[in-house]
Amino acid sequence: ANIKFKREDRWANLPKGVMEQFIHFGYAFHGIDMTISGNVPQSIGLGSSAALTVATAYALKNLFDLSISETQMVQAAFLAETSFIGNETEITDTLTACVAKKDAVLFLDLRSLKYEFIQFKFPDVKLLVTNSNVPQTPGQNELSDRKRICAECVEFLSRRKSGQALRDFSVADLKAAMGLIPESTRRMCMHVVQENQRVLDAKQCLMTGDLPALGKLMNRSHESLRDDFEVSCPELDWLVKRAWEIDGVFGSRITGTGFNGCTVTLLRESAIDKYAERLEEYERIFGFTAELFICEPSGGVKILFP
């Protein structure tokens, strides 16, 4: 009856937030004993919060046989993290955790929330996530600043051409603004505009099975995140550069929010051992032990024990 956010409850606020949303939907709960186990590393941009909120929502639906829609469950999981806890995040991780399909990647339009699946099934090709284990930094404030800068740029550009977000503007629009907005602002916004196009190009590469071209897009994405959007760090740059040097690697880039966290590398399975050998050098240089996770596109949330 009195579910509130408490900082000292740490991650337990996530399931509490889901329950609060269900109560808003008109569902009631009595006492619940919950055991939570997980293997998604926390606080490195891999969606551990979304995994927990989505799992909670589906467990509650199943436990109490609630007639709640999938849309409401996605909403409850997302609002638990944003409204209840106050994290600034998009719905991407939450929706993916709900609807993902095995051997497919999700192409999502955040404006319309329409999505489609693209097959990702290539023999001997893996997605390798490397956790840099760089300690957390106050990166959220940095990201908030970047969002504010981009919003200010949109406001300026919209005086000349109708648009609500950077996706509505082109490289030419930003070039025309040269000298009218700060160069650092123009550079950050140029990253967003070009990254949107890279996503569309990557979709085509996946549909045609052109992995070398997809890898080049990943590489250009990292370079832009490093040089234009400025969310990388020396450790992540080192991991990406070492990956680029190995035969059998198609591409590598930052994944997550940046500043610390992980890289994601598209490579042939035969190249994994050689890449792993380089990580001993990483520990010697930076003092952190990197961790590897071989990932495959999997299905979304499901009830294991009905």
Residues with catalytic annotation? Answer: 93
**Angle value at C-alpha 253, between 209 and 157, nearest 5 degrees:** 95
Could you tell me which of 31, 2, 233, 202 has the C-alpha nearest to residue 118?
202
Structure token pair of residue 94: 């939450």
| Cα 273 to Cα 130: distance, rounded to the nearest angstrom | 13
Could you tell me which of 143, 266, 273 has the C-alpha nearest to residue 215?
266
Is the separation of the CB atoms in 116 and 107 below 8 Å? Answer: yes
For residue 192, how many other CB atoms are within 10 A of its CB?
Answer: 20
Strand order in the sheet with 262-268: 249-255, 262-268, 125-131, 291-295
Q: Count Cα atoms within 13 angstroms, Cβ side, for 110.
A: 11
Report, in this order, helix, strand and coil percent for the chain, each rounded to 5.
50, 10, 35
| Cα 18 to Cα 9: distance, rounded to the nearest angstrom | 14
Q: Count Cα atoms within 13 angstroms, Cβ side, for 246.
A: 25
Q: Is 247 exposed, middle or buried (0-12, 13-18, 19+ CB in 10 A)?
A: exposed
Could you tell me which of 21, 20, 18, 59 has the C-alpha nearest to residue 37?
59
